[in-house]
């Protein structure tokens, strides 16, 4: 597989993001909410570098099944989430693609009583967005290619790779 972003670059960019995030929140307590499962490594690496009073929770939002699947109904499960009412939420996702997932999850968190929601994504794909959505923090902007590794999967494989790689159409799927 072609490596798009090597592990060392991911680590240094995540460290920069953590510094930006701490500066923006300026000592205010934050509840980090990761969208499983893709956010796994991003969340683990980022929170260890954020110098703020911090709580962590996770939710799942599923609809995406592969490169050709059209996201339709999004099922959000938040039973693992701590109480978020009145909290400042930093929502983490692995990749911003069409923007539908994050738009809906942000609305869901506000519905659940969050005071405010900011969003950090590790990756943002160029030319794919279908709904207007501006994340507050972006790690890398990438071309419109299907990527795996560092938490990102294809059929639940490749998540454990330390780099982010492009899954070629000819690759065994």
Phi-psi category of 119—alpha, beta or left, where left has phi over 0 and alpha has psi -120 to 50?
beta
Return the residues of window 71-100 that contact ligand XMP according to CB under 6 A.
71, 93-100
Annotated catalytic residue 97: yes
**Order of strands, sheet of 75-77, starting from the edge strand that comes earlier in the sequence:** 75-77, 54-62, 30-36, 88-96, 116-125, 137-142
Counting residues that bind ligand XMP (by CB under 6 A) gives 17
* Cα separation, 121 vs 138, whole angstroms: 5
Element (H, E) at 90: strand 88-96
For residue 15 the two structure tokens come to 């460290």
- Which of 152, 161, 164, 165 is close enough to bind ligand XMP by CB under 6 A? 152
Interface characters, 95-134, with ligand XMP (x: CB under 6 A): xxxxxxx---------------------------------
By beta-carbon proximity to ligand XMP, the closer residue of 25 and 146 is 146
Return the residues of window 130-149 that contact ligand XMP according to CB under 6 A.
146-148
3-state secondary structure of 148: strand
> Shortest distance, CB of residue 55 to ligand XMP, whole angstroms?
22
Q: Does residue 163 touch ligand XMP according to CB under 6 A? A: no
CA-wise closest residue to 36 among 55, 12, 60: 60
Q: Which of 97, 136, 153, 156 is catalytic?
A: 97
Q: Does residue 38 touch ligand XMP according to CB under 6 A? A: yes
By beta-carbon proximity to ligand XMP, the closer residue of 91 and 95 is 95
**Alpha carbons within 13 A on the beta-carbon side of 150:** 28
- Binding stretches for ligand XMP (CB under 6 A): 38, 64, 71, 93-101, 146-148, 152-153
> What are the catalytic residues?
97
């Amino acid at each position: 597989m072609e490596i798009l972003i090597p592990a060392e670059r991911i680590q240094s960019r995540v460290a920069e993001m953590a510094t930006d995030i701490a500066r923006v929140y300026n000592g205010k307590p934050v509840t980090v909410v990761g969208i499983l499962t893709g956010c796994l490594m991003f969340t683990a690496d980022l929170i260890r570098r954020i110098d703020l009073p911090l709580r962590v929770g996770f939710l799942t939002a599923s609809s995406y099944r592969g490169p050709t699947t059209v996201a339709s109904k999004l099922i959000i499960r938040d039973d693992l989430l701590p109480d978020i009412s009145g909290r400042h939420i930093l929502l983490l996702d692995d990749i911003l693609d069409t923007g539908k997932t994050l738009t809906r999850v942000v609305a869901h968190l506000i519905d659940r009583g969050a005071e405010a929601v900011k969003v950090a994504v590790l990756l943002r794909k160029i030319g794919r967005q279908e709904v207007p959505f501006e994340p507050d923090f972006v790690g890398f902007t990438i071309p419109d290619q299907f990527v795996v590794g560092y938490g990102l999967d294809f059929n639940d494989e490749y998540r454990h790779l330390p780099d982010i790689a492009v899954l070629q159409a000819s690759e065994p799927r």
